[in-house]
Amino acid sequence: SGVERLGDMIAEAKTIVPFTGAGISTECGIPDFRSPGGLWMRNRPIPFDEFATSQEARDESWRRRFAMEATFAAAKPGRGHRALASLYRAGKVPAVITQNIDNLHQASGFAAEHVIELHGNTTYARCIGCGQTYQLDWVKRRFEEDGAAPDCTVCDEPVKTATISFGQMMPEDEMQRATELSRDCDLFIAIGSSLVVWPAAGFPMMAKNCGARLVIINREPTEQDDIADLVIRHDIGETLGPFVGN
Ligand code: OAD
Ligand code: ZN
C-alpha cells in the first residue's frame, strides 16, 4: 500500500525534507483555504497593497484575525505534525518548510530555527515599515480603545500579522534556506497543499529536479501529482499516524 511504500522510502532516506500546507492542520480545527468551507471560500484575500493603503482594509483584516483567535489558541499539533517531529528528533529531518502560519510545527517540538515559514506567522504582529514586532494582545487592546487597527509606535506605519499576503515580498532568508534544503535532500514530502501558490509551490519540483524522490500526501489531486514518485490521496492524520514515535 501507499503507507508501506512511504515507510520504505523513509527508511531508505538519509535526509527528508517535509513541505507542509494547510491540510496538515485541518484535523487541529484550523480550516484550509481551498476546500469547501475553506477561508478563501468565505472571504476574498486582502492583497498587501490594499492593507498598506486602506485603514478600512486593515480594520477588516484585524477583525478577521480576532474572529479566528479562539481557533488558533485552542489548536494543538495533529498526527501529521507529531510524525514529522518524531522524524526530526530521530535526526532524519533537518528542518520543515511550511506555508502555514499557525505555529504548530514549533508546538510539536521543532526548534524555531528549523521551521522555515515561507508565509510568515499569525501568532504575533509586525510593523510593515520598520519590522518592529508586537504581541497580538497589544494590537487587540489598541483596536478596542481606538476602534481602528493601530500603527507602529516607532515609525507610524501600519501593524500587520507577521504573515505574507498576496503581493507582499517573500522573506529572502527563508526562500534561500528552503532552496538549499530542497536541493540537498533525498526525500521530499509535500503534505496537505494544493500546490497552486507560487513561489512556494516551486520547491517540490526543485527537489525532484535535484534528484530527490518526491512524495505527495493530499486527499485531493494536486498540480504536481504527475511528477511525484508516490502519491497518497488519503487523510494526512491516518497516513502519518503510524510514524508518530516518541
Ligand atoms: P489549500 O487550501 O490550497 O490546500 C490544502 C489541501 O489540503 C487541499 O488540497 C485539501 O484537499 C487538503 N487537505 C485538507 N485537509 C486534509 C486532510 N486531513 N488530509 C489530506 N488532505 C487534506 O492550502 P495551501 O496549499 O496550504 O498563502 O495554500 C497555499 C497558500 O494559499 C497558503 O499558504 C496561503 C493561501 O493563500 C497566502 O495567503 C500567501
Ligand atoms: Zn514601524
Give the Cα separation of 32 and 40 in Å (integer).
8
Indicate the pairing of strand 187-191 with strand 16-20.
Answer: parallel
Cβ neighbours of 227 (radius 10 Å): 12
| pLDDT at residue 115, rounded to an integer | 99
When pLDDT is cut at 50, 70 and 90, the band that residue 56 belongs to is: very high
When pLDDT is cut at 50, 70 and 90, the band that residue 1 belongs to is: confident
Ligand 2 centroid–CA 74 distance in Å is 30
Q: Provide CB contacts within 8 A for 10, sequence distance 6+.
A: 16, 87, 92, 187, 243
Ligand 1 centroid–CA 218 distance in Å is 9
Ligand 1 within 6 A of CB of 22: yes
Q: pTM to 2 decimals?
A: 0.98
What is the set of active-site residues? 119
Ligand 1 within 6 A of CB of 164: yes
Q: What is the pLDDT of residues 162-193, one digit of tens each?
A: 999 999 999 999 999 999 999 999 999 999 99
Does an H or E element contain 33, and which?
none
What average pLDDT does the structure give for the chain?
A: 97
Atom of ligand 1 minimally distant from the CA of 100: 33
Sheet holding 120-127, edge to edge: 133-134, 120-127, 159-163
